[in-house]
Structure 1
Amino acid sequence: MAIPILSRIDPMVRLLVVAIALATICPAVGEGREVVEVVSNFAIFALFALNGLRLPRGEVLHGVRHGRFLVPLLVWCFGAMALTGLGLSRVGAGHLPQELAIGLLFLGTLASTVQSATAYSSLAGGNVARSVVAAALINIAGVFVTAPLFAVMGGFGTAEIGIGGLGKILALLVVPFVLGQALQGVGRSWVQAHPALVSTMDRLAIAIAVYVAFSGAVERGIWTTLEAGQWAILLGLLLAFLAIGFGGSWLFSGLFRLDRPTRISFMFAGAHKSVVSGAPIALILFPPASAGLVMAPLLAYHLLQLVVSAPLASRLSHSRR
Structure 2
Amino acid sequence: MRFLSRFYIDGFILSILGMVVLASVLPAHGSGAEVLDWAVKIAIGLLFFLYGARLSPQEAFEGVRHWRLHSVVLAATFVLFPLIGLALRILEPTIISDDLYKGILFLCLVPSTVQSSIAFTSIAKGNVAAAIVSASFSNLIGVFLTPLLVILLMDTTGQAKVDASSILDIVLQLLVPFLVGQLVRPLISDWLTRHAAPTKLVDRGSILLVVYSAFSEGMNEHIWSSTSVWQILTVVGVCIAILAVVLAVTAFAGRSLGFSWPDRIVIIFCGSKKSLASGLPMATVLFAGHSVGLIVLPLMIFHQIQLVVCAALAQRFAKKSGELELQAQAQPQTAG
Q: SS in structure 1 opposite 2:237?
A: helix
CA distance in 2, matches of 1:175, 1:79: 26
Aligned to 1:145: 145
1:34 offset after TM fit, Å?
Answer: 1.4
**Larger of the two Rg values belongs to structure:** 2
Aligned letter for 2:27?
A: P
1:195 offset after TM fit, Å?
Answer: 0.9
**17-26 or 114-123: bigger deviation:** 17-26
1:108 offset after TM fit, Å?
Answer: 0.6
Task: Point out where structure 1 has 5 or more consecutive residues left out of the alignment.
Answer: none
CA distance in 1, matches of 2:10, 2:164: 35
1:150 offset after TM fit, Å?
Answer: 1.7
Aligned to 1:229: 230
Question: Does 1:274 pair with 2:307?
Answer: no
Aligned to 2:60: 60
Q: CA, structure 1 residues 44+65, in 2 after alignment: closer, same or farther (shift >3 Å)?
A: farther
CA distance in 2, matches of 1:259, 1:186: 38
1:276 offset after TM fit, Å?
Answer: 0.8
CA distance in 2, matches of 1:126, 1:166: 39
Aligned to 1:32: 32
Kept after mapping to 2: 8 A contact 1:99/1:159? no
Residues 20-41 of structure 1: CA deviation (Å, up to 9, x unaligned): 1221121122221111111111
Question: Does 1:199 pair with 2:200?
Answer: yes
Question: Does 1:121 pair with 2:136?
Answer: no
TM-score (ref. length: structure 2) = 0.89
Q: CA, structure 1 residues 98+284, in 2 after alignment: closer, same or farther (shift >3 Å)?
A: same
* C-alpha RMSD over aligned residues: 1.8
1:94 offset after TM fit, Å?
Answer: 2.2
Q: SS in structure 1 opposite 2:123?
A: helix
Aligned to 1:97: 97
Aligned to 2:329: none
**3-12 or 220-229: bigger deviation:** 3-12
1:269 offset after TM fit, Å?
Answer: 0.8
Kept after mapping to 2: 8 A contact 1:127/1:264? yes
1:90 offset after TM fit, Å?
Answer: 3.2
CA distance in 1, matches of 2:256, 2:166: 37
Aligned to 1:293: 294
Q: SS in structure 2 opposite 1:153?
A: helix
Superposed, 1:1-321 pairs within 5 Å as 3-5=1-3, 9-155=9-155, 157-287=158-288, 289-320=290-321, 321=323
CA distance in 1, matches of 2:138, 2:93: 29
Taking every aligned residue pair, what percent have the same amino acid on both sides? 35
Task: Point out where structure 2 has 5 or more consecutive residues left out of the alignment.
Answer: 324-336
TM-score (ref. length: structure 1) = 0.93
